[in-house]
Amino acid sequence: MSRYALLLTLLFGCTAAPADDDDLADDDGAPAALTDDDDATADDDDATPKVDDDDSADDDDTPPRGAYLVLAADGLAEAGQGYADLRAGQDLLTEVVSISDLVEPGYWTPDLVAAVQARLLALAKPLPAEAPLYLLLLGDAPTLGDDPTGLIPASHCLNLLGSCYTDNSYADLDGDGLPEVAVGRVPARTADQATAYLDKLQQFEADWRPGLWNRRLVLFAGDSGFGAEFDAIAQGLILDTLTDVNHSFDIWGVWDNAASDWFYVPFTDKVVDLFDAGAVGAFYIGHGSAAFNDGLSQDQLEAMALENRQPFAFFFACSNGSYAGDLGSIAEAALWKEGGPIAAFAASDLTHPYANAVYPYEMQRALFDAMPPTFGDVIRLAKVASIEHEDATRDLMRALARLQDLTDEEMVLIERQSLDLYNLLGDPATPTLYPQAAVTIDSIAGSIATGSLQVGGLAPGIESGTARVTLEVDADQHMGELDPAAAEAAAINANWVIANNRIAASQEVPVVDGRFEADLDFEGELPGEAFFIKVYADDGDHDAFGHAVAP
């Protein structure tokens, strides 16, 4: 998402909010390291994403693949055992400890952090050095001055724009600021809350079923407030940068901006619709506060009726994850919503536009290119990459930031502080549940120039089923003519449908003995310069996906 991230550097972040955003700000309410070789970009002819379809996890003799520690607030240990039991059934070595098991009354937060890390390392000692480590903090965090009894403290952290608090200190085993542990918090204050979220997790995992939602990304963006000229540039930049997302996935987007082709009336209804349709992840970019972002408030959460897959919510905005204390935040509300988003990644305080450029870029690389087994792994990979990863896109971000009068020292400081500012609310061992296998497209005849393609390939694990084979234009293009004069809701919403349609040809074909064949015929010149053959196959119980560059 190079230019998308670039746009965010210019546009989004609380300090860049327009003057009329004051009311919003005051609203009270160990996988392998991600490398550039993992990118599935327009010039990548690798047809298959990295998906593990090994069924060995079902073998009772399988050794533990990692360690999972539950730190439970006093009074929540029994509920914590339910989480441990769930993960023990997924080949993780588990343990539940209460705060009183580790420290005496009157402890300092660093004492607890050190004790938790020691317990986690002891649990992981019999495992290979590369085995992933997961830490679930089961309990809410007190604010400064609150009685910490029955709560799990967060560490105070520094923030260029204000104060913040973090759980990253629990995950940093060697003191370098980078997380070696995938850590997440379920900010429950009662056993009923803790159990209700466990029920939500169990249902999310047990109710998994094949569907296009398993390869879908939802993006919703708030109104910038910077005027029509800037918004016109913004739309072009956003669409252009979506071409960097792994093409095995689909992208649906909506923007609260009347000048955008992605505009929809009413905007918030479409946000709810996109969540209801199901997705792997939902990215929000825009202004925000603890209780609100542009498109998702408590009212919108209550309106959700997710019949398909519940997405992981990524909120790149100010204070959407302000979890300490009992006032609540939009990220916590998403967590508690029955049938709502399965987890959330959000900031505990004010965010900086530069960090809100880095994180969406690194997060999409971790989520859609590396495709690790859990959302906690996604977060850990992206945080490490936000500090260590270097490429032309990151260089471009820094160059633009310098034009905005940020020094190199300030950029490093913001990158470091954002490791703490952003936190995972939810269980870090929540499985990502991508399609279960990688399609191999092994024969392509014809070409874009001839208007016809004959495609063949293999769908592992699917002996008899159906494959949906499509020819699609790139993410910055669309099929169909937009109405530039659209002013009424019906015409605006018709434009939205066209703007999100990238399919030039489509065919559903049978999968027989794991093999499929499809003919894709189309007429006329296609928009853009890059075209992709995408496949999603399933038999009702298993699925597989992949893509190839069309010749």
pLDDT interval class at 396 (50, 70, 90):
confident
Summarize pLDDT for 429-452 with one digit per residue, the tens.
999 999 999 999 999 999 999 999
DSSP type of residue 372: -
- Confirm if 26 and 289 have CB atoms less than 8 A apart: yes
pLDDT of residue 357: 83
Spell out the residues 6+ positions from residue 24 whose beta carbon is closer than 8 angstroms to its own: 17, 287, 288, 289, 292, 294
Q: What percent of the chain has pLDDT over 70?
A: 86
Confidence of residue 231 (pLDDT cuts 50, 70, 90): low
Q: pLDDT category, 24, cuts 50, 70, 90?
A: very low
Whether the pLDDT of residue 113 is over 80: the answer is yes
Give the DSSP letter string of 95-124.
Answer: EEEEHHHH--TT--HHHHHHHHHHHHHHHH
Alpha-carbon gap, residue 208 to 512, rounded angstroms: 24
* Sequence-ordered list of residues with C-beta below 8 angstroms from that of 536, at least 6 positions apart, any chain: 212, 215, 435, 467, 468, 543, 544, 545
Beta-carbon neighbour count of residue 454 at 10 Å? 13
- For 129: left if phi > 0, alpha if psi spans -120 to 50, otherwise beta; the answer is alpha
pLDDT higher than threshold 90 for residue 264: yes
Q: Is the pLDDT of residue 342 over 80?
A: yes
The residue ranges of DSSP E strands in 484-529, in sequence order, are: 503-512, 515-521
* pTM score of the predicted model: 0.89
Q: Is 99 exposed, middle or buried (0-12, 13-18, 19+ CB in 10 A)?
A: buried
Position 225 scores a pLDDT of 62
CA angle (16 as vertex; 253, 476 as ends), nearest 5: 25
Q: Whole-number mean pLDDT of the chain?
A: 87
Q: What is the pLDDT of residue 295?
A: 85
> How far, in Å, CA of 281 to CA of 296, rounded?
15
Token reading at 296: 């998702």
**pLDDT for position 32:** 41
- Cβ 57 vs Cβ 90: under 8 Å: yes
What would the pLDDT profile of 484-525 be if each residue is shown by its tens digit? 999 999 999 999 999 999 999 999 999 999 999 999 999 999
Q: Alpha-carbon dihedral of residues 198, 366, 287, 227, nearest 10 degrees? A: -150
Could you tell me the end-to-end alpha-carbon distance of the chain, in angstroms, rounded to an integer?
Answer: 24
d(CA 226, CA 17): 9
Classify the C-alpha dihedral 199-200-206-207 as positive or negative.
positive
Residue 40, pLDDT > 50, answer no
Strand blocks (E) in 244-386: 250-255, 281-285, 288-289, 292-293, 312-316, 343-347
Residue 36 pLDDT level (bands cut at 50, 70, 90): very low
**Amino acid at residue number 392:** A
Residue 22's pLDDT is 31
Amino acid identity, position 46: D
- 454, 505 contact by CB (below 8 A): no
Closest C-alpha to 544, from 425, 440, 447, 395: 440
Sorted by where each starts, the structural domains of the chain and their CATH numbers stand as: 2-15+216-425 (3.40.50.1460), 63-192 (3.40.50.10390), 437-549 (2.60.40)
Please name every residue paired with 444 in a beta bridge, in sequence order, or none if there are none. 455
Nearest-angstrom CA–CA distance, 330 and 349:
13
Task: Give residue 212's region: left, alpha or beta (phi > 0; psi -120 to 50).
Answer: alpha
Please provide the size of the chain in residues: 551
User: Which DSSP string do the residues of 469-496 spell out, in sequence order?
Assistant: EEEEE-TT--SS---TT--SHHHHHHHH
> What is the token pair recorded at 256?
């609260």
Distance CA 313, CA 411 (A): 26
Whether 290 and 261 have beta carbons less than 8 Å apart is answered as no
CA gap 87, 537 in Å, rounded: 29
- The answer to whether the beta carbons of residues 47 and 247 sit under 8 Å apart is no
Q: What is the CA radius of gyration of the chain?
A: 23
Question: Under a CB-based contact definition with an 8 Å cutoff, are residues 67 and 93 in contact?
Answer: yes
Assess whether pLDDT exceeds 70 at residue 51.
Answer: no
Give residue 14's pLDDT band: very low, low, confident or very high (50, 70, 90).
Answer: low
Per-residue buried b or exposed e for 186-223, using 16+ beta carbons within 10 Å of the residue's own CB: bbbeebebbbebbebbeebeeeeebbbbbbbbbbbbbb
pLDDT reading at 279 higher than 60: yes
